[in-house]
Amino acid sequence: MNEPTRTLLIVDDDPGIRGQLKWAFDDLECTLCADRPSAIKAVRKEAPAVVLLDLGLPPDTDGPSEGLSALRDILAASPDTKVIIMTGQKERSYALKSVSLGAYDFYEKPLDVDELRLIVRRALKLYDLEQDNRRLQLESQANAIPDLITASPKMKSIGDQIMRLAKTDVSVLIIGDSGTGKELLSRGVHSLSRRSKGPFIAINCAAIPENLLESELFGYERGAFTGAHKTTIGKIEQAHEGTLMLDEIGDLPLSLQAKLLRVLQEKTIERVGGRKQIAINFRMVCATNCDLEKAIAEGHFREDLYYRVGEAVVQVPPLRDRPEDALLIAHHFLDTWSHEQGLKNPGFAGDGLAAISHYHWPGNVRELQSRIKRALATANGRISAADLDLAESPDEQILTIKMARQRAELDSIQKAMAQTDGNISEAARLLDVSRPTLYQLLNEHGLR
């Protein structure tokens, strides 16, 4: 396999050092710059994998100001680039500051080429890993469920299941608590199916009074009842060539259950007050948060309809059973909404992150969305547990071993990051893991 050519940008005002470094890295494509403006130009053009940046650049060759500004500009222009800061004795104290500004690492002169090679190799490796990771994510997102954010293995396998089902025409019953993403997954069934160019029509059976539901679903002919001034097409007919989603199917009255069953068997409908049978070609997706088997046992739901709407059944776990997801989704919405509203992303405070991962989320993703939305509107700085209106301390719920381990891991990482003021190298040392491992853990916990 051909390795992609990766560029190393060397920024130093000393021509001797530039030459020495070019020689040391002759297996990479090196670009040499002597000052900040030319370095920024090169970064914009080449987006180098790694930059070796001297802190003492002209006009401030004896201080760090120009080098630190260059660091900021480089990372703004090319956030994936790994910047290694080179300092002289005098600027040593600025090395840590550079890392807190986003530099990958620092190196104290005088140069030891072998040592520096090692650091550059590691930076390149991380750069390559991140690029591969991003490519894989994009590839899998390209055919995944639109808008579904998840790192949970359970949800990923549900996503795979939905993708497979979407290619067929079977009816799908999605079962899960309120706010877990049942409608989002139903839309996924539609948009990944051959009906995606057709309409997606959703109707919530629980939200419409029983006496109106029939005409909403089946439509009505003019004069069918008082007030029926003109013939109106119902939701089922609107879904022709597309997908009909019946949300809260468990709330469908028994009389309509019989009618729906007929529609599903015969693929035709009759509008209220009409005599004509109208052929409809649609795919059915239903969702419910109630226990349909219990409803069947109690006589509230027809068993034959249950088998008809649930040719395939998908169970969506609540957010509390997906410990990988709450922080990831929280970060996603905070990024998206602060961007949409033209606000600087305030980020989460440590206690905010802890509260999000400890809370049991009875309202699932919808509740998470509304707490973040509210906090974004009211918080003054980083979003804390109080801004989210959540308790700081974990509740007394019993955790599975897996969740307990993940929480303990998250706690340690947060403490290490707080204690080191966000310095990855230092935090990795405290946690006794390598820096790439810490990067990976930060990603997994949605902390980056």
Ligand X SMILES: Nc1ncnc2c1ncn2[C@@H]1O[C@H](COP(=O)(O)OP(=O)(O)OP(=O)(O)O)[C@@H](O)[C@H]1O
**Least Å from the CB of residue 179 to ligand X:** 5
* Residue closer to ligand X (CB basis): 7 or 357: 357
In DSSP terms, 314 is beta-bridged to 174
In DSSP terms, 259 is beta-bridged to none
Q: Is the peptide bond before 153 cis (omega within 30 degrees of 0)?
A: no
Hey, how many other C-beta atoms are within 10 angstroms of the C-beta on 287?
26
Nearest C-alpha neighbor of 157 from the set 144, 169, 167: 144
Residue 84 and residue 53 in contact, taking contact as beta carbons nearer than 8 Å: yes
3-state DSSP call for residue 405? helix
Q: In sequence order, which residues have a C-beta less than 8 Å from that of residue 168 and are 6 or more positions away?
A: none
In DSSP terms, 203 is beta-bridged to 246
In DSSP terms, 247 is beta-bridged to 204
CA distances, 100 to each of 28, 89, 94, 124, 209 (Å): 27, 19, 10, 20, 58
Q: In sequence order, which residues have a C-beta less than 8 Å from that of residue 348 and are 6 or more positions away?
A: 330, 331, 334, 356, 382, 383, 384
Nearest C-alpha neighbor of 351 from the set 381, 396, 373, 318: 381
**Least Å from the CB of residue 350 to ligand X:** 24
Compute the distance between CA of residue 173 and CA of residue 166 in angstroms, rounded to an integer. 12
What are 8's two structure tokens?
Answer: 């190393």
Which positions lie near ligand X, rule CB under 6 A?
147-150, 176, 178-184, 247, 287, 289, 329, 365-366, 369
Residue 113 and residue 158 in contact, taking contact as beta carbons nearer than 8 Å: no
Compute the distance between CA of residue 18 and CA of residue 31 in angstroms, rounded to an integer. 10
Helix axes 401-419, 350-358, angle to 10 degrees: 180
Three-class SS string for 95-164? Answer: HHHHHHCCCCEEEECCCCHHHHHHHHHHHHHHHHHHHHHHHHHHHHHHCCCCCCCCCCHHHHHHHHHHHH
